[in-house]
Amino acid sequence: MSILNYPELITIGSNTLDIIIQIDDILRFELFDKDIIKKYTAIEYSRKLNIKNVRFVPGGSGANISANCSMLGLNSTYIGVVGNDFSAEICLTDLKKRGVDLSQVIQTDDDTTALSIILRTPWGKDRSILAYKGANNLLKPSDVKEELFNNIKAFAWTSLTTDDACKAIEKAITLTKNKGGMVFAAPSMSIIKNAANWAKILISNSDVVSMNLEEAQEFTGESKKTLMIKKFLDMGIRLISITDGPNGSIISDGKTIINSGVYSAGNVEDTTGAGDAFLTGILISFLNNFSIEKTSKMATAMSFLECQEIGVREGLPQSIQELEDFVNNNTIKQVISEIV
């Protein structure tokens, strides 16, 4: 394999066609278990429901991060497996349009391209997702080529769940560290619940980890954010961020803890992909040696801007300068404390 332009960023993770369905004719109920409230979306049994609208948009965490970073000027390569189907065509066309190198993408007839059905309801901007990993999980360690990492600055991984796919991520982590690059992780509930041992191995070998609150609770077994952070830092993580939707985020490098609110410059339309955008902000900030305070603002801004339009990768800045301009012209509340 001849690689003319060695990537600065390599990502591995899901590459998915998202089917976003707006549905009003649907039920919602809540169950109370002591101090825990669980919310459910339900379709009445044996009924045919009309939907308000449907959109087909490319997504997937690994692909999103690669696309986001490419739009911000980072030379990015995505490694993954997709099917030979119309879903792959939509996903790959979008990645190519955004400047992502697709030379390491494998197309197969052994499975279909990953698919997510995203249900948007009248009860707020959050959503429920039905996810099929499909061809994503067919990735093997042999698909990760050593020579691709010669100029690596960052490797970012998101959730895959088969042994071979996780071994491929592990190989990429090793190759990145051998070349002096940094490892960024955005593990979802998928790997935390379905491949718990691999989640622990891969997270403990990452430099920067970003999760939402539910994922961090599940992984650490803790209910308080400060205790979650301590567990991650004790594992050797250099920086941990935990996002909590409209409640903002908490981020720590072991010396400082920053609680940040959210920007309020517009309306939230769709939160799909917000976590990927948040990690993108952290990754770009790290590579530019920004302070932890600025890193938190940049990540929050990326997440906020991504939520302004329906679908992932929309509404995002086209350069780091554009992102910095937004941060400089808008304010969020930050509570900064030192760890003693």
Residue 39 pLDDT: 81
Which carries the bigger pLDDT value, residue 41 or residue 148?
Answer: 148
pLDDT tens per residue across span 237-281: 999 999 998 899 999 999 999 999 998 876 776 677 789 999 999
The tokens for 189 are 């509930």
Residue type for position 300 = T
Residue with token string 């087909």: 56
What is the CA angle 166-296-255, rounded to 5? 85
pLDDT tens per residue across span 281-328: 999 999 999 999 999 999 999 999 988 776 677 778 889 999 999 999
Whether pLDDT at 1 is above 60: no
The tokens for 190 are 């998928």
Residue with token string 């990760």: 144
CA distance 285 to 28: 40
What is the CA angle 252-239-131, rounded to 5? 105
The tokens for 91 are 């996903």
pLDDT tens per residue across span 169-214: 999 999 999 999 999 999 999 999 999 999 999 999 999 999 999 9
Which carries the bigger pLDDT value, residue 40 or residue 184?
Answer: 184
Q: Which of 290, 307, 199 is nearest to 243 (CA)?
A: 307
Residue type for position 176 = T
Q: For the chain, which domains are there? A: 9-16+62-113+137-338 (3.40.1190.20)
Residue 123 pLDDT: 72
Residue 333 pLDDT: 94
The tokens for 77 are 């390569």
The tokens for 149 are 């990492």
